[in-house]
Structure 1
Amino acid sequence: MLSYQHAYHAGNFADVHKHLTLFAVIDHLLRKASPVTYIDTHAGRGLYPLSAEETARLGEYRQGVAPLWKAREALSADPLLCAWLSSLAEVQHRGGELEHYPGSPWWLSHRLRARDRLVLFELHPGEYRHLEGQALADNVRRVQGDGLEGLLRRLPVSTPRLCVLVDPSYERKTEYAEVAGTVLAAMHKARHAVMLVWYPLLLAGRHHALLETLRDGGLRKIWRSELVQRESAEGERGMVGSGMLVVNPPWGLDERLGEAMGRVCPLLGKGSRHTGDWWVEE
């Protein structure tokens, strides 16, 4: 199935959680001079106009990035949020208005150094055409194809460090097992890699098998971050939260992101809350 298009959900609370985590990880990686290869297995379009028909139809950004943008002066007291929102301001054509929301290809390419490398995988033909049209750094390679298979084919990489974002739509139930298997296989080939895995918090609980497989997979250190946007009502269906697993997280990531999310949650609604915990192999 290739029906999923992220434009309908661009800038929602899950994007805020996902991209703030990614931004914080990149920030840590840039503190060292050695080059990094970044791989994005499910890239999407790269940049989303909030006025586009798909994005405006659901308007999920109104309960996601929009409240943060309105409160950006107050949020500037937090260093991570200040830097993230300053970067977000760079893609707005009129500085005071929120007109665009960048996807992971932009967040990754925006901070590439000359010796770093970025590979973007996107399987959906229509989404890939949008990605091809995005202006990105010269050391970015776009590949139309399966990102999970492509990741394993490209390992090991030539740079000393590797950072991978795995962010599928999970429109197929089998994707949870596919992601878990790919992450464990990739970490076997590149044990030093920093791996970020996004997953939806669904009332159906499909993410539990993914978490259990990775928790029991022999990985040395994982940090789990979950953002619950709202409490679920009886009989309700759908996504109520966003999860991020970071394998081999940089030192201090938990504290920096925890503090930032503590400021973000009150802006996302009454039921919003963030939790983080460690899985460390003894």
Structure 2
Amino acid sequence: MLAYQHAYHAGNIADVHKHLTLFALAQQLREKTSAITWVDTHAGRGIYPLDSAETQRGGEFLDGIQPLWQRRESFPQPSLVHSWLQQLAALNPDEHLHCYAGSPWWLARAMRSGDHLELYELHPGEHRHLQQFDQQLPVGARRHFGDGPTTLLKHLPVATPRLCVLIDPSYEVKSDYLAVAETLSRIAEKVRHAVVAIWYPLLAAQRHLELLEAVRESGVRKVLRSELIYADPDQTRGMYGSGMLVLNPPWQLDQQLSEAGEQLAALYAGRSTVEWWVAE
């Protein structure tokens, strides 16, 4: 069993980038009335208390969500970043940042009547933490202990008219990069209109390029790429940036992410890129 537990990294810059993208995607998909099946293939925990031993040990939120939260009133209204921070304030009503929301929380909050939510987690410890989130899950949400991508593919197509999937493994195993590209291709084959968001890390080894090239060569169309670089690749031993791929993004998502990316890049002294990786 892999050792990765996201609590050590909760609320870091990559989380901000990932969850802001997920929030923007969900907000746009909710504008149409037809039901959606939301799927989180690597759910982790629903909520991360920032005073926990794990989160304090990593302390990555101090460079991620913390400075963004402190400047939350400086973002224009309306804007994607401001709206996202307003949602996060529901977990922190006294204006102090106590908790950070994981992807299960964001997806549960996006659900409407008639929607479904499938949360998958394979790590036993993380699944026990996710189990504690059950009371906050709305009707139509289910938690599963098992391999998310494999189980999802077995149950496609879904019963609802629309499907939105978040895939964000730890990438501890080098083969994960190509496996994610294969999963994306198979989802697209089974559900042509599926919306799929993939998170990937930017590391010195540059293995994310394997994922990007495999997606390009797979034949899938209409893939948006968003990257936020917040450290010098030549001076950083760990992760220097965060990437997102979105298959079948809603109209104007690219514009929203471009504006938000510029704001994040200014805050974190980095740079942001939003472009079509594979055209329609």
TM over 0.5: yes
1:228 alignment counterpart: 229
Unpaired runs of at least 5, structure 2: none
Secondary structure of 1:110's aligned partner: helix
How far off is 1:80 after superposition?
A: 1.1
Distance 1:76 1:15 in 2: 21
Shift of 1:111: 1.9
Alignment deviations for residues 12-48 of structure 1 (CA, whole Å, 9 cap, x no partner): 0000000000000001101110000001000001100
The aligned residue for residue 161 of structure 1 is 162
Further displaced range: 30-39 or 174-183: 174-183
Corresponding letter in the other structure for 2:114: R
TM-score, normalization: structure 2?
Answer: 0.96
In structure 1, the residue matched to 2:117 is 118
CA distance in 2, matches of 1:54, 1:169: 16
| Residue 212, structure 1, aligned to residue 231, structure 2 | no
Partner SS, residue 90 of structure 1: helix
Q: Summarize deviations over 1:45-95 as a string: whole Å, max 9, x none.
A: 110000000001121011111111111111143421121011000011x42
Q: Is the 8 A contact 2:203 2:233 kept in 1?
A: no
Instruction: Check conservation: 1:8, 1:54, Cα contact below 8 A.
Output: yes
Give 3-state SS (helix, strand or coil) of 2:240's partner: strand
Uncovered stretches (5+) of structure 1, i.e. residues with no partner: none
Query: Which of 265, 272, 275 is the aligned partner of 1:274?
Result: 272
Answer yes or no: is the 8 Å Cα contact 1:37–1:117 preserved in 2: yes
Measured at CA, do residues 100 and 191 of structure 1 come closer, stay the same or move farther in structure 2, by a change above 3 Å?
Answer: same
Does the aligned pair in 1 maintain the 2:168–2:199 contact within 8 Å?
Answer: yes
Are the aligned partners of 2:261 and 2:273 in contact in 1 as well (CA < 8 Å)? no
Task: State the alpha-carbon separation in 2 of the partners of residues 247 and 126 from structure 1.
Answer: 31
TM-score (norm 1): 0.96
1:226-280 CA-partner distances (Å, limit 9, x unpaired) = 000111235x422100000000010100101111121122222x3x110011134
Find the residue that maps to 1:18 and give its secondary structure. Answer: helix
CA distance in 1, matches of 2:225, 2:46: 25
Q: Aligned partners of 2:2 and 2:97: how far apart in 1?
A: 29
What is the CA–CA distance in structure 2 between the aligned matches of 1:111 and 1:226, rounded to whole Å?
24
Q: Deviations over 1:163-217 (max 9, x none)?
A: 0000000011111111111111111001100000000001101111111010111
Q: Which residue of 2 aligns with 1:252?
A: 252
How many residues align? The count is: 278
Q: How does 1:179-194 map to 2 (within 5 A)?
A: 179-194=180-195
Instruction: Measure the CA separation in 1 of the matches of 2:190 and 2:86.
Output: 36
Q: What code does the residue aligned with 1:35 have?
A: A
Aligned to 1:149: 150
